[in-house]
Amino acid sequence: MQRQEVSDAMDAKLQHSGNEADKTLTGKQKAMQLLGKMDLRAYTMIAALLGIWVFFSFMNEFFLSPRNLSNLFLQMSVTSILAIGMLLVIVAGHIDLSVGSIVGLTGGIAAILQVWYDWNTLPVILVTLFVGVLIGLIQGWWVAYQAVPAFIVTLGGMMMFRGVLMGISKGSTIAPLEDTFKLIGSGYIPYLMGWGLAVVAIVVIAVSQWKQRQTRKKYGFALSPLYADVIKILFYAVLIGIFVSLMNSYKGIPFPIILVLVLAILFTFIAKKTRMGRHIYAIGGNTEAARLSGINVRWRTMTVFVFSSLLASITGIVLTARVNAATIGAGTMYELDAIAACVIGGTSLMGGSGTIVGAVIGALVMASLDNGMSIMNMENFWQFIVKGGVLILAVWFDMYSRRKKTA
């Protein structure tokens, strides 16, 4: 009882001292304190993205037109969905080189079932997702329970799944698909519904920010100034308003973007708010320590591969619906785009760190480079050179940041 009273008294004293110290801070010091809490990597990515957009808008006035921005977001949706799954694998300390081939295979299966066998859209989607989960279970089992390196398992999967696609499709292009299926990849949200979703998003952000502030206040944590939270909410509201306005000035918000946002929110919740997510980060940080702390490392490892393959199958559906056909080349090299998006978004290839939001922003950076260079009619080899250079710089920045922290 006496120990508890002493502990409470010390906590109260420390809190009082912290409050007194806050009162003595100058305006400049408070601003620096607030800036210090920011995620420097995230703001660097956003600044780089804005720089890319400004550069390409000067090079071609069509780049920032509503039509091109709509196409840009459609283009980034495929990489974003793949990057979400890839991020979980990388955070756990592994790699998945097979996702591009899984995209091609699952998209081919969806097209075959609908075009050759006249299946309706819903059962086609369910079977395709089941195939994705099954592939993830098989690859995850080899990695987690047979201790075969993920690099080898997924490299073999990359070749095997591409071969299966060639075999079942007989090397032909499979098209066309039903209109209901095509809506998944090329449909648009009506204007009024788009504004309704914008209002809902702003309300959710405001409520979330308020609850977070009340929670910090309840447990005695330091609070940022109220005006800072209001400015943050207004900033997000303005961004959402601009986005919806631009999309509505063309055809509306593309449905794949809504799908990306839903998946990003869902997997952000899984990564940050669930035991599974904490276990995945712990495994990537130190596998042996995670095992000794009671985490079922094998099961969690297999789970991340299931997630990765499931999201790859969703990508296969979106891509096939968007192009209204399945080809043997679909998904080629997509695994490298997904890895690059994660790394550019701040995910460490060493495992243990990375965010879903960062991966999505990284995917937008990659799509912006592709789109901008295509508008400028640059030859394909330049696109590979530029994206490769950006990937190297992103990895270097990650390693440099780690060395600076440990110094």
pLDDT tens profile 334-392:
999 999 999 988 888 888 888 999 999 999 998 999 899 988 888 888 888 888 888 88
Asked if 280 contacts 91 with a C-beta cutoff of 8 angstroms, the reply is yes
Is it true that the peptide bond before 176 is cis, omega within 30 degrees of 0?
A: yes
In angstroms, the Cα distances linking 110 to 256, 306, 325 are: 17, 19, 10
Q: Report the alpha-carbon distance of residue 119 to residue 44 in Å, rounded.
A: 47
Rounded distance, CA 266 to CA 252, Å? 23
Mean pLDDT of the 239-254 span: 92
Neighbouring CB atoms inside 10 A of 399's CB total 13
What per-residue confidence (pLDDT) applies to 228? 85
Q: Residue 213: which residues within 8 A CB-CB, separation 6 or more?
A: 223, 229
Beta strands in 60-181 (DSSP E): none
pLDDT tens-digit map of 106-124: 999 999 999 999 999 999 9
The residue among 332, 307, 335, 330 whose CA lies nearest residue 319 is 330
Q: What is the distance in angstroms between the CA of the first residue and the CA of the last residue of the chain?
A: 43
Helix crossing, 66-91 with 297-323: angle to 10°? 160
pLDDT category at 313 given cuts 50, 70, 90 is very high
Burial of 322 (0-12, 13-18, 19+ CB in 10 A): buried
Reading the block at residue 313, the tokens are 């199958």
Task: Give the whole-number percent of the chain exceeding pLDDT 70.
Answer: 89
DSSP class of 146:
S
280-310: per-residue pLDDT in tens? Answer: 999 999 999 999 999 999 999 999 999 999 9
Condensed to tens digits (0 to 9), the pLDDT of residues 14-71 reads: 344 444 444 444 444 444 444 444 456 667 788 888 888 999 999 888 898 999 999 9
Strands 253-254 and 188-189, sheet pairing: antiparallel
Maximum pairwise Cα distance, the chain: 79
Highest mean pLDDT among 7-16, 208-217, 396-405: 208-217
Q: How far is the C-alpha of 51 from the C-alpha of 65, rounded, in Å?
A: 17
Phi, psi of 345 (to 5 degrees): -80, 5
d(CA 150, CA 282): 18
Torsion angle of the four alpha carbons 349, 99, 325, 166, in this order, in degrees rounded to the nearest 10: 140
According to the model, what pLDDT value does residue 83 have? 95
- Which residues in 339-366 are b (16+ Cβ under 10 Å) and which e? bbbbbbbbbbeebbbbbbbbbbbbbbbb
> How many Cβ atoms from other residues are within 10 Å of residue 230's Cβ?
12
Query: Cα(404)–Cα(407) distance, rounded to whole angstroms?
Result: 5
Q: What crossing angle do the helices spanning 297-323 and 121-145 adopt, rounded to 10°?
A: 150
**What percent of the chain lies above the pLDDT cut of 90?**
60
**244 within 8 A of 195, measured Cβ to Cβ:** yes
pLDDT at 394 over 80: no
Distance CA 92, CA 357 (A): 17
Residue position matching structure tokens 């943050």? 232
Task: State the average pLDDT over residues 305-329.
Answer: 95
171 in helix, strand or coil? coil
DSSP E strands: which ranges in 85-236?
188-189
pLDDT value for 42: 67
Strand partners, 189: 253
> Helix, strand, coil % (nearest 5) of the chain?
80, 0, 20
| Token duo for residue 25 | 């801070």
Render pLDDT for 190-207 as a digit per residue (tens, 0 to 9).
899 999 999 999 999 899
CB 207 within 8 A of CB 148: no
Q: What is the pLDDT of residues 128-139, one digit of tens each?
A: 999 999 999 999
| 348: amino acid identity, one letter | S
State residue 40's pLDDT score: 61
